Amino acid sequence: MSHRPTALAAALALALPAAQTVYADDLPLFIGEEIVVTPTRSPQKLSETLAATTVITRQDIEQSPSMTLPEILADYAGVGMQDLLGNNASNSTVDIRGFGASAGQNTLVLVDGRRLNDIDLSGVVWSAIPLSAIERIEIVRGGASVLHGSGAVGGVINIITRSPIGKPAQAGFGLRAGSYNLRDVQVYGNIANDNAGLTLAANHYESDGYRDNNRNEQDSLYGDARWKLAQGELIVKFGADRQDIRLPGARAVQPGIGQNDLANDPKGASTPLDWASRDGWQLGLTGNYKFGAHNATVDLGYRNKSQAAYFDFGGYPDYRETDLDMLTFAPRIMFSFSAGEIKHGLSIGLDLAHWDYTLGVSNVPANISQPINKVDATQRNAGLYLNDQMQLSRDLSLLAGVRVEQFSIKARDQYDSSAPGAFFGSAAPAGKQDEREYAWELGMRYRLGGTQSVFGKLGRSFRFATVDEIYEYDAFYNREFQFLKPQTAHDLQMGWETGNAKQGGRATLYYARVKDEIHLDPYTTGIGNTNLPPLQRYGLELEARTGLGSVQLSAAYTLAYAKFTSGNYNSVNLDGNDVPLVPRHKLSANAAWKISPSLQLLTSANFVSNQYMDNDEPNTLGVKIPAYTVVDTRLEYKTGGWTLAAAANNLFDDAYYTYAVRSSFTPDRYAAYPLPGRNFRLELAYTPK
């Protein structure tokens, strides 16, 4: 889209054993001997990773008073969140290391190693995986394009689902009811023996939402079937999800004319007729095979999503239907061997991905069979990588990796002047783009003694533009495909950590320089997205946890700088300006108080400092998104397999919002998306013992 509000409206619519070493048990631990897969795409102990990696365990998820994954993730250092509606994370974006408006395209989200990010701007559907199906979540901060390809610039979030094998046959459920007519049902079941198993989990959610015209209905189904073989394992995963949501739009503020919808009517809807829907399903097949000390894995995945969205635009309606198919094939092999005194864990892999994208544009749903514009695009990615983790001594390990990725996209547009609602328009001339990018990384971890270690990592990462970012207007408002240069980044991080499962901490310093960042151009008439001048991002991340008697405490602090580093850009001097939607300070604290063996009080508090609004790259609006503090709490009682809980979110009723956008046309005008005030819920769950 040519301007951020329109682009935002469109966005609204729409894991093998690693090499073992004799020294592993002596290495420091931050959250115990957790096994992680994201840093190397093969299981390894958390204490062996060479990047700033955090594991959110199943217990951490259950002890959070938050209801959604983005809210849980925002409790951790280096991770921020933008939420437009506050209704089951239906329009939430997670931001690792301060990418602001483009966070959704620079934070890669995986489920069991398969990407959820697509080649459009519709965003990740966080509710597609029921919370009851999640075993843990892994957060890897910093560029990770060597192993994960395009989009892994700020970091990677990998959601690991629960394995049914070795668990007893059982079934459970969870019920929630609360403010805004909230009703939420989760059910799951498991049947397995030592060699095979099946897990099913389903979720139904509905709520009227905090705002007018904000009702949200979502359903999801997830399944995992596994068979152990003589030398490996076969895994089949499947899922489906559906969403129907009403879109209330933003609350406008313009002091020059005395307008302040944000203060006077925060719950109101500026777009009472707008809505969106989504249907998706996915299927994945993974085969693991072990031969000697080595391992091979083959991943095959398919995903489809169909979306529809209606925007009234004050009597000039716009209706869109999109369909996206994604097919992936990812074989890889892990060699474990010694060369002299050095132990190697060498991974070699190939990632192939094919997308088919179709967009139909009309004025109303009844006319979509004869669209005004019809866009077809095909994208292919082929990446080859090599990654070697070396144990040089009892205390020193090194990492070296490289990736080459080929990207190609072909797109065409058809315009039908006889279609209903077509009164002025054009078709973008067909176009194609072929690019080749590379990534590399070098890492080190050194044990200082006891439970302390230092680590460092240096690398290059990249991302390619999405199809929604290239389908734009020229300066005369004719449609065209504006192919953009790939975005690249060099980043450095170094840190220190210490501790064990109950008590520990980590401090990390990071620096990243980004070139050709893909972003909206709000200044030039008729231009949509573009490549920005160079930027830099740097900061400090602190995490700590400790136990005090019956209370388990954890805290995280982020100091983040995101700044432009060169001069004029479309007649606007950006040199030294702050990047919008990146707060300087973020502090979170969590407490779990075991009052008795059956009774527990869970509390989280999050403070976020003020930040510039989207589109305010000049930093001249004079108004920022205000700082806010949100406190959530949950009191739960357990007996047998039953859990009864009462929760309050935004306990102190802070009036806040995490996203606002400056007008590109009116100097003192902006629009914000207020989030829910104090709200409550009751929960009842049964989990067999």
Gyration radius of the chain over CA positions:
25
Give residue 620's pLDDT: 92
State pLDDT tens for residues 20-53.
222 223 333 333 445 555 555 566 565 566 667 8
> Closest by alpha carbon to 6, among 255, 245, 314, 322?
314
Fold held by 4-686: Maltoporin; Chain A (2.40.170)
First to last CA, the chain: 52
Give residue 23's pLDDT: 29
How big is the chain, counted in residues?
689
Question: Does the pLDDT of residue 437 top 90, yes or no?
Answer: yes
State pLDDT tens for residues 450-504.
889 999 999 999 999 988 888 888 777 888 898 989 999 999 999 999 987 678 9
Domain ranges of the chain: 4-686
Provide the token pair at 485.
């240069």
Residue 241: φ, ψ to 5°? -150, 155
Give residue 499's pLDDT: 85
Give residue 3's pLDDT: 38
Question: Does the pLDDT of residue 354 top 80, yes or no?
Answer: yes
Q: Amino acid identity of 310?
A: Y
Per-residue pLDDT band at 528 (split at 50, 70, 90):
low
CA 43 – CA 529 distance, rounded (Å): 39
CA 63 – CA 72 distance, rounded (Å): 10
CA 99 – CA 110 distance, rounded (Å): 18
Per-residue pLDDT band at 106 (split at 50, 70, 90):
very high
* Helix and strand counts by DSSP (H, E) for the chain: 7, 41
pTM: 0.90
> Closest by alpha carbon to 79, among 499, 508, 486, 468?
508
Percent with pLDDT over 90 in the chain:
72
Per-residue pLDDT band at 572 (split at 50, 70, 90):
confident
Question: Does the pLDDT of residue 180 top 80, yes or no?
Answer: yes
Provide the token pair at 165.
């094998």
Per-residue pLDDT band at 90 (split at 50, 70, 90):
confident
Report the chain's mean pLDDT, rounded to a whole number.
89
Per-residue pLDDT band at 63 (split at 50, 70, 90):
confident
Using the Cα atoms of residue 500, residue 505, residue 511 and residue 515 in order, give the sign of their dihedral. positive
Give residue 69's pLDDT: 92
Give residue 2's pLDDT: 36
Q: How far is CA 252 from CA 143, 227, 261, 262, 270, in A?
A: 37, 55, 5, 6, 8
